[in-house]
Structure 1
């Protein structure tokens, strides 16, 4: 379990984390979302003692990270895939970490096999790709068989197979009763991985809810196909209904459910070829939540030049 209570972090005049509180439960994958600069990485770093809170606290299983006698057996973290000695081999890196906690050689071999490092673990880390560095970081995090896992952008640099593997690993670890805390900018991936979401904006929590609640709270849209577009639009136009013409035979309707659209189409003697509910996506909800909390915003369009 990870618990944050009124957690603050300031760097000079800059407030990175502004009084957040949350509690992450075992058996769930909690996704951590937010724009760049929102405080996600800072929060995770405070969780493993790399940054000291300005105020408040963040604990793991009721203790601060430094209070655990064998921290690698309690929490495994991947915060910076490049934080390794480039001259060491992958196996040497894992051996050094394992020696600090009396972890067996068989456990080292197990995490090497689990993370797919067998073909490169004897090579020097300076020759690793970003994806292999990520796998090495995950292997190190799993060494102590910890009950809590903290992964900051774990799929950076991974190919599609690797991304799917991390997704499956997170789900498997949660199914075993572990607390899994994962940050990512990949909305499609997070929607398939997380059970619960915490969204930060400018250092504050702007959402803390099960993922299904966030998705269910979105606007309900329906895709409708008909050769009688004008007639159907006239039949369903009413207060609170928005109709977008996607092409000559396709409408996207917001504000009416499929049954109501079908009933009005029947009354107007309009033949409908398709009537499909469009589920709200995590990306839709994320953009809606964070629209006013983006610190670094792009401007203009590609190819534009100053006049």
Structure 2
């Protein structure tokens, strides 16, 4: 288990993590989300002792990682897959780590096979691709067969097969009763991998809930297609109902369910060619949660935000 209590980290006048508290349960994949600069990586670094909290604390199995006699057997972490000696081979790197905890060469061979590195384990790391480095980092994290896994953006540089493999690995590790803490910017992958989500915004927790709660709490939408689109849109218009036109015959409705839309179409004699409820995606829920917390915006997004502020002034 990973537990944080009033965890805070500042760098001069900059507050990276602002008094957050959470508890991660074994047997679950907890996804860690937030815009760039929200404090995700800093939190993970504090969990493994690479950064010291300004105040508060974060513990693994009841104490800091430095207090554990065999850290590799307690926590496996991938925070910077490039933190290796480029002149060593992958196998040499893993054997050097294994030696610090008296882990056998057989275990090294096992994790090489598990991560698909057999064909490159004898090559120098400086020749590895980003995807190979990610696999090597995961192999190192698995060396001590730890009960806790912390992965910061583990699918960077991986091809689709590799992304799917990381997803299966995370699910399998959690099914074995391990605590899996995983950050990613790939919403589609997080939706298929995580059981629970913690979302940060400017160093503070803005959501801490099962993933299904975030999906079900999203705004329901219905896609409608009819040749009498204009008439039906006028008939549906009302308070708390949002209508977005897609083209001359297609629009999207928020605030009404499909049955209510169908009944109104029948009343005005509109023939429906499509009436499809749209499932709320994790990306939709995430964007809604973090819209006010994005620190680095693209030109278009920044312009829209500025225009909205101008309209409110």
Task: Tell me the equivalent position of 2:44.
Answer: 44
Q: Aligned partners of 2:42, 2:238: CA distance in 1, in Å?
A: 48
Task: Tell me the equivalent position of 1:56.
Answer: 56
Where in structure 2 are the equivalents of 1:253-272 lying within 5 Å? 253-272=253-272
Task: Tell me the equivalent position of 1:123.
Answer: 123
Q: Aligned partners of 2:297, 2:10: CA distance in 1, in Å?
A: 22
Deviations 1:89-145 (A, max 9, x none): 000000011111111122111111110000000000000000000000000000111
With the length of structure 1 as denominator, give the TM-score of the two structures: 0.95
Q: Alignment length, in residue pairs?
A: 301
Equivalent residue of 2:272, what SS? coil
Deviations 1:209-266 (A, max 9, x none): 1111111111110001112212322332222222222112211011100111111112
Deviations 1:149-173 (A, max 9, x none): 0000001111111111111111111
Task: Tell me the equivalent position of 1:161.
Answer: 161
Q: Aligned partners of 2:171, 2:272: CA distance in 1, in Å?
A: 41
Bigger CA drift: 66-75 or 260-269? 260-269
Q: CA deviation at 1:269?
A: 2.1
Q: CA deviation at 1:289?
A: 1.4
Task: Tell me the equivalent position of 1:247.
Answer: 247
Bigger CA drift: 268-277 or 217-226? 268-277
With the length of structure 2 as denominator, give the TM-score of the two structures: 0.94
Task: Tell me the equivalent position of 1:98.
Answer: 98
Task: Tell me the equivalent position of 1:305.
Answer: none
Question: Residue 73 in 1 paired to residue 73 in 2?
Answer: yes
* Runs of 5+ unmatched residues, structure 1: 302-307
Task: Tell me the equivalent position of 2:188.
Answer: 188
Task: Tell me the equivalent position of 1:225.
Answer: 225
- Moved >3 Å (runs of 4+): none
Q: Aligned partners of 1:270, 1:294: CA distance in 2, in Å?
A: 42
Q: CA deviation at 1:300?
A: 4.6
Q: Aligned partners of 1:218, 1:282: CA distance in 2, in Å?
A: 9
Structure number with the higher helix fraction is 2
The alignment yields a C-alpha RMSD, in angstroms, of 1.2
Task: Tell me the equivalent position of 1:150.
Answer: 150
Task: Tell me the equivalent position of 1:236.
Answer: 236
